[in-house]
Amino acid sequence: MPKKKIVVEEVLDEKAPEAETPKPEEKETSPSILDPEPVEKPAETIPEPIASESSPAPTEEAVEVPLEKTNKKLYTWGIVSGIIIFLLVGAVFYLAIRLNQETKNKKEVMVEATASPEATSQAITQLTKNEITLEVLNGSGVSGKATLIADQFTELGYTVSKVGNAPSAAQTTLLAGTGLTEKLQVLLADVEKELKVSSVSGEFSDSTASARIILGSK
C-alpha cells in the first residue's frame, strides 16, 4: 500500500504547472506640467482644379490637330511662294534676253543706216574719171558759160564729148546715162564741189554719154 502512494505523488508532481515568473511593475508616468502636450497640425489639402463644363481640358489629340493644320498651311505657302519666285525669275530672264536681242537688232539697223557712201560705192563698180564722158549744156542764158564749165571738168580728168545749149533752166542739174546713176560717185563729188549739186536728178537715153550737166541760171 505505501508504494502506490508514492507513485501517485510523483505523477502529480510531473503534472504540476510551472511557476509564473513575476513581471516587472510598470510605473505610471504622470504628465508633467512643464512638458506641453504635442499639437497635431492639420494636413495640408491641395485644392483640386474645378473642371468647367463650358471649357473642357484639352487632350493630346486636340493639341496636335492645330499643329498639323499650321504645318499644312506653312507647307502650302512655301510651295506657292516658290512657284511665284520661279515665275518672276523666268520673266526677268526672258525680258533680259528680249531686250538684249532688240538692242542688237537696233545696232545692226543703225550701222546699215549710217553706212557711208564710200562703203556703198565699194560694193558697186564705180567708173573712173577717164571712163566718164560728159555733155555740158547751157540753160542759164549766159553766153559762153557751158564752154567755161566744160574746160573745168576737162582739167579734172573727164572727157567732154559735147558742149551746147538747152532750154532755159532755173537750177543746175546732173543727169546720168541709163543704168549709170550708182556708178558716178566720183563725178558726183566733183559736181557738188564745183556746181553745188549733190544728187543725180534722173537718167537720159538719147545719148551714149555717161552724164549730162545742164547749167541753170542759179
Residue 200 has pLDDT above 60, yes or no: yes
**CB-hemisphere CA count at 13 Å for 173?**
14
The DSSP bridge partners found for residue 204 are 177
- Distance in angstroms (rounded) separating the CA atoms of residues 215 and 168: 9
pTM: 0.46
Please name the CATH architecture into which domain 123-215 falls. 2-Layer Sandwich (3.30)
Strand ranges of the sheet holding 211-215, from the earlier edge strand across to the other edge: 159-165, 133-138, 211-215, 173-177, 202-204
CB atoms within 10 A of CB 61: 7
Q: Which three cell numbers stand for residue 27?
A: 510605473
The DSSP bridge partners found for residue 175 are 202, 212
Residue 202 has pLDDT above 50, yes or no: yes
- How do residues 36-91 score in pLDDT, each as one tens digit? 555 565 555 665 655 555 555 555 555 556 667 777 788 888 899 889 998 999 89
- CA distances, 133 to each of 59, 184, 191, 211 (Å): 113, 11, 14, 7
- How do residues 123-148 score in pLDDT, each as one tens digit? 789 999 999 999 999 999 999 999 99
Domain ranges of the chain: 77-114, 123-215
Mean predicted confidence (pLDDT) in 114-123:
56
